[in-house]
Amino acid sequence: MIPRNASETLVRLSKGFPILAITGPRQAGKTTLARLVFNEKPYVSLENPDEREFAQNDPKRFLARFPEGAVLDEVQRCPQLLSWLQGWVDERGQMGDFVLTGSAQFDLLAGITQSLAGRVGRVELLPLSVTELTAADQLPESMGHMVFKGGYPALYDRQVSPQDWFGNYIATYVERDVRQVIAVRDLGQFQTFVKMCAARTGQLLNLASLGADCGISAVTARQWLSVLESSYIVTLLRPHHRNFGKRLVKTPKLYFLDAGLAAWLLGIRNPETLETHAARGALFETWVVSELYKQRLNAGHPLDLYFWRDSTGNELDLIIETAAGLKPVEIKSGSTYASDWTDGLKKWQALAGAESLKPALVYGGAQSYEREGVDVWGWKDVALCDV
């Protein structure tokens, strides 16, 4: 197993919360992480029909089996158990008592909010980050290979190609998770919707256009998009809320949380195709945004990431909000630095004034250095943007 950066966050939270919840997409390594960090606790999967029936029909006796707590996997399959857990952990008063994992964010969060508020330390685990792959000496050889392959652990733990793995992942996701959340009559139409979302990664979200391209209404498109969000397939990056002298766009941008999955959905079957593909820039931007998401989530920090765009077309790819100020970040997929790459950063800095921290630029090359007052980071050093 590749060591996960979120391990330290889990250990820290286990000292102050009686229940820990690990959420994230399927196959991101949640179960493996929980069993590794809390290896002294018994493990129970509520995907097991016998265990699920026991928990549903007699939750009190089910929990009584675990005097020292347990790891309860896919706990959203038995939401009524969360109400019993509330009284159980309140009576025992033990920190780090139970560890819950789940892939369906809406179901699990609804149960946590209603039954376990104030008792849960939560970690959201996304696929492997560049820092985790580097530490394990498994970082792909080039930016193209990194974006093409993505970060799902199975692609690094097994002898399986992205082409084979992503195809089965999408089929399983559609047939299983989507049917559990919403009643999709035409699964083929939903698969088309997912592919249309991939074609729009890194772009402003237009639900009417997205729905029209898939033959569904904007209302249905919004519902289906919420399913992709709840399953950690996509995320919406919000525009920064401060108006630096110009009217800002209010529409969020759509990003996949794994660039490799987005590339597969776009029909890219090898890294060489990616080099000349029209979506190369959008996929690299998607990868950078997802990497910064991972870094913040692994550390247990808030997701204070935004973009900036005004009504005249001036745009900045990322703004990281920190206690010290606002960190502007530009993203370019090219491997050779170009002098006009910092134009957007300079325009935004002029508007933000003293609120701006030192700007950063992430590009597709390998070298990192400083140029014209800007930290220029190669793709391997993307995590340094948020330092």
pLDDT digits (tens, 9 = 90+) for 14-56: 999 999 999 999 999 999 999 999 999 999 999 999 999 999 9
Give the H or E element holding residue 146.
helix 143-149
Per the structure, the count of domains in the chain is 2
Ranges of the chain with pLDDT below 70: 104-115, 243-247
What's the whole-model pTM score? 0.94
Question: Where is the domain boundary, 67, 94, 124?
Answer: 124
Domain hosting 41: range is 6-124
Question: Where is the domain boundary, 108, 124, 140?
Answer: 124
314 and 382 both lie in a single domain: yes
What does the block give as tokens for 177? 């998770």
298 and 222 both lie in a single domain: yes
108 and 49 both lie in a single domain: yes
367 and 234 both lie in a single domain: yes
- The pLDDT score that the predictor gives to residue 177 is 74
d(CA 41, CA 97): 9
What does the block give as tokens for 113? 């909010």
d(CA 280, CA 332): 10
**Residue recorded with tokens 């992430």:** 362
d(CA 282, CA 331): 10
What CATH number is associated with residue 97? 3.40.50.300
207 and 263 both lie in a single domain: yes
Q: Does residue 1 fall inside a structural domain?
A: no
Instruction: Let me know the angle formed at the C-alpha of 233 by 230 and 235, rounded to the nearest 5 degrees.
Output: 75
Question: Where is the domain boundary, 124, 142, 171?
Answer: 124
- The pLDDT score that the predictor gives to residue 214 is 93
**Residue recorded with tokens 């159980």:** 88
350 and 385 both lie in a single domain: yes
CB 234, CB 222: distance < 8 Å:
no
Mean pLDDT in the chain?
91
142 and 229 both lie in a single domain: yes
**Nearest in space to 385 (alpha carbons), one of 327, 338, 323:** 327
244 and 357 both lie in a single domain: yes
Other CB atoms closer than 10 Å to residue 42's CB: what's the count?
A: 12
Category of 150 on φ-ψ map: left (φ > 0), alpha (ψ -120 to 50) or beta: left
Q: What is the pLDDT of residues 76-133, one digit of tens each?
A: 888 888 889 989 999 999 999 999 998 765 556 666 666 677 899 999 999 999 999 9
- CA 107 from centre of chain: 17
- The pLDDT score that the predictor gives to residue 108 is 62
